[in-house]
Amino acid sequence: MSKLLVTGGAGFIGSNFVHHVVSHTDHHVTVLDKLTYAGNRESLAGLPQSRVRFVQGDIADPAVVGELMASVDAVVHYAAESHNDNSLDDPRPFLDTNIIGTYTLLEAARRHGTRFHHISTDEVYGDLELDDPSRFTETTPYNPSSPYSSTKAGSDLLVRAWVRSFGVRATISNCSNNYGPYQHVEKFIPRQITNVIRGIRPKLYGKGENVRDWIHADDHSSAVLTILEKGTIGDTYLIGADGEKNNKDVVELILGLMGEPTDAYDHVTDRAGHDLRYAIDSSKLRGELGWQPQYRDFEEGLAATIDWYRDNEPWWAGAKDATEAFYTAKGQ
Ligand code: NAD
Ligand code: DAU
């Protein structure tokens, strides 16, 4: 496998994946990205043009998708509308990209016999109670809560149907919350880091008891490459790094690492339908395919992420004011 099509490769996790592929394999990559508000070409700056080609286009456009699919061995499908808060404000783009876009890619993969890896989220499983000792597994029933997670669940089911009905050679991965460089400032960790840099108090939804299972984006990338190379066609793999933390602890950690008093944050209006807890059991991926995360110390990974945002203000400054204006209007 040497030619990859990476959809959404100018977004957070997609761009981390392209950097990972360039430094760990000899694959050639074509990025297909619409450059929505969430895409940033600068996230691919410095990569060799001999290995990485960029095409601006929509995954829901059958013409561009068909042409690109004809020239690659495999597609790794990251492109999505990805932010829960936006999906509560305006669900329509989530249907267009996450459902119709995935359908368009699957049809092209079916025509061209292309290997397909679909990137999805643990949010398709809904949430767990805070005191529930269990974690999500590949057999947990789907129970999504938000317009975002319901469209991701729909896209997963399309992939499963295209495998069974049409023989598309696809795998699916459902990963937990990612952190690391190149994440848009609308998301929890970069929002709070860039707030502190700007002298704005971090904003915690509700009581801050909600738990997320954090994984570094580079570990997500190595897991996806492992599944692409060794995964069983038709199978789903959960990706996680045993990183459960509640939001309050994460905000306090960020403040402490940035030299601020750990109580210098505000509680703001909670998210509608806010999922309580996500937790991943990734034993199948580790046991069957031999994958292991490299970032085992969350505090260390977070400190490196803080440094990245401090060192790369031009990358995020353009999006910061509009993002904060959106949240302020919602009381968040
Ligand atoms: P992101 O919002 O940072 O990036 C999405 C990218 O997709 C952007 O570059 C955007 O321009 C592009 N895009 C959007 N609509 C498009 C379209 N119609 N055609 C072509 N390109 C389009 O998202 P992310 O956080 O990097 O998430 C990437 C994928 O990983 C998503 O499928 C998401 O569901 C999944 N995921 C994310 C996380 C997480 O913690 N962020 C965890 C698990 C799974
Ligand atoms: O679990 C995987 C999912 O993780 C991905 O599928 C999504 O694409 C990704 O956005 C992420 O979803 P979350 O909703 O968990 O991430 P977000 O960064 O928006 O919020 C993380 C937690 O922090 C959540 O409990 C809400 C809370 N939060 C968020 C923001 C932006 C705050 O308390 N304050 C904030 O300002």
Catalytic residues: 122-123, 148
User: Which ligand 2 atom is nearest residue 206's CA?
Assistant: 33
Q: Is 179 in the pocket of ligand 2 (CB under 6 A)?
A: no
**Pairing state of beta strands 28-33 and 266-268?**
unpaired
- Average pLDDT (196-212) is 98
Ligand 1 centre from 148 Cα, in Å? 11
> What pLDDT score does 317 carry?
98
| Ligand 1 contact, 34 CB (< 6 A) | yes
The answer to whether residue 1 scores a pLDDT higher than 80 is no
Q: Which two tokens stand for residue 149?
A: 């997670």
Q: At 98, list the tokens.
A: 């996450």
Sign of the Cα torsion 56, 58, 59, 63 reads negative
| Average pLDDT, integer, range 240-261 | 98
pLDDT range class, residue 35, cuts 50, 70, 90: very high
Angle of helix 102-112 versus helix 62-69 axis, rounded to 10: 40
What is the rounded CA–CA span in Å between residue 137 and residue 140?
5
Cα distances from 105 to residues 116, 117, 329, in angstroms, run 9, 11, 36
Q: What is the ipTM of this complex?
A: 0.99
Domain ranges of the chain: 3-178+214-239
Closest ligand to residue 146's CA? 2
- pLDDT exceeds cutoff 70 at 170: yes
pLDDT digits (tens, 9 = 90+) for 97-149: 999 999 999 999 999 999 999 999 999 999 999 999 999 999 999 999 999 99
Q: Is the pLDDT of residue 32 over 80?
A: yes
Is residue 10 within 8 A of residue 43, CB to CB? The reply is yes
Cα distance between residue 152 and residue 160, in whole Å: 13
Distance CA 115, CA 171 (A): 9
What confidence tens digit (pLDDT) does each residue in 293-327 have?
999 999 999 999 999 999 999 999 999 999 999 99
Pocket-testing residue among 189, 212, 216, 277, ligand 2, by greatest number of atoms within 8 A of Cβ: 212
pLDDT in tens, 216-248: 999 999 999 999 999 999 999 999 999 999 999
CATH architecture of the domain 3-178+214-239 equals 3-Layer(aba) Sandwich (3.40)
Whether the full predicted model's pTM is greater than 0.95, yes or no, is: yes
- Over residues 266-300, the pLDDT tens digits come to 999 999 999 999 999 999 999 999 999 999 999 99
Any ligand 2 atom below 6 A from CB of 203: yes
**Whether residue 123 has its Cβ less than 6 Å from ligand 2:** yes
Distance (angstroms) between ligand 1 centre and the Cα of 217 equals 12
Distance in angstroms (rounded) separating the CA atoms of residues 168 and 200: 49
Would you say the CB of residue 204 lies under 6 angstroms from ligand 2?
A: yes
Q: What is the mean pLDDT of residues 52-70?
A: 98
